Amino acid sequence: MNIKEKVIDLIRNRRTSLPTLPVVINNIIVTARSDKSSAQDLANFIVNDQAISARVLRIANSAYYGMSKEIDSISHAIVVIGFKEIISLSLGMGIFTALSKKGDDVPIDITELWKHSIGVGFAARKISKKVRKIADESTILIGLLHDIGKIVFCLHFPDEYAEVLKKTSNEQTPLYKIENECLGLDHAELAYLLIKQWNFPPNLIQPVRYHHNLSVCPKEWVDMAMIVNLANFICHQSGIGHSGNNNIETDNNVLGKLGLSDENIGALIEELESERDQVEDFLVALS
């Protein structure tokens, strides 16, 4: 089998060592997809998992949200931060837990990759608010998800992926293009296959899948895909974390389509740079 076939088998074969999501996360996914779910349903699922409950409260009380009073319960967090926001945070924690295993001699520093992903989530939220095109409750989660394909590559195909990283560095070519050339799929497609298997909703799956391939993104999801693409660029320019890619490009049409200018991007880069400590705190709370 080639690498793409091995990846597909890895994701679909329940006998592989690829991690599954905790039961509570599957319950939260069902909650997220149902119009009949209540805040109390969500709170009940979360409080039954002490680890996730503790992490939710740590993040709710982190500098990122800047609350003046301590949030001391999941119900309180849902009221203050919001139902959809808590769903996103909980799902992000489930992903982090499932993929936080550290392999030996992995070709990318996984901690730095998570920092980058959090930074992309922060930047995506800033862009989303600025362009006022879409609701922004899922932007942090999409940031956490957008590069998880790289983690799977690192943990399960470390030698092959090390060669990909070497090649992209030598050729000054964006990483996703070399991934497609050498492995038959890129990290965005791998992430899509994985989170689709986990039954995540389309508003999370599709922007992750197309954030490097905007020209073929379905119209319904293209705004968020563009936001993630641009957030990735901004995070790299801010020097927060490391994604394994030193050759970053963004579609030249993205700024115009989102109604942003070069001056806007410069200001967003400076804002994100100033929030480096918040990114670090968020990662600690997530861990």
Domain count, the chain: 2
Contact 194, 140 (CB under 8 A): no
For residue 10, the model assigns a pLDDT of 86
Shared-domain flag, residues 153 and 213: yes
pTM greater than the 0.75 cutoff: yes
Shared-domain flag, residues 65 and 139: no
Shared-domain flag, residues 85 and 172: no
SS3 of 17-68: CCCCCCHHHHHHHHHHHCCCCCHHHHHHHHHCCHHHHHHHHHHHCCCCCCCC
**Residue after which a domain boundary falls, among 64, 98, 132:** 98
- Measured distance CA(136)–CA(228) in Å, rounded: 12
For residue 169, the model assigns a pLDDT of 86
What is the CA angle 10-26-214, rounded to 5?
65
Shared-domain flag, residues 250 and 139: yes
- Measured distance CA(190)–CA(149) in Å, rounded: 5
Shared-domain flag, residues 211 and 170: yes
Shared-domain flag, residues 80 and 44: yes
**Residue after which a domain boundary falls, among 98, 116, 136:** 98
**Residue after which a domain boundary falls, among 68, 98, 128:** 98
pLDDT digits (tens, 9 = 90+) for 10-19: 888 866 667 6
Shared-domain flag, residues 190 and 234: yes
Amino acid, single-letter form, for residue 178: I
Helix (H) or strand (E) holding 272: helix 262-274
For residue 1, the model assigns a pLDDT of 77
Shared-domain flag, residues 49 and 83: yes
For residue 134, the model assigns a pLDDT of 61
Domain range holding 150?
3-12+103-286
pLDDT digits (tens, 9 = 90+) for 47-83: 988 888 999 999 999 888 888 899 999 999 999 999 9
> Where residue 221 sits, what CATH number does that domain have?
1.10.3210.10
Shared-domain flag, residues 73 and 189: no
pLDDT digits (tens, 9 = 90+) for 204-258: 999 999 999 999 999 999 999 999 999 999 999 999 999 999 888 777 789 999 9
Shared-domain flag, residues 250 and 118: yes
Shared-domain flag, residues 69 and 204: no
Shared-domain flag, residues 133 and 266: yes
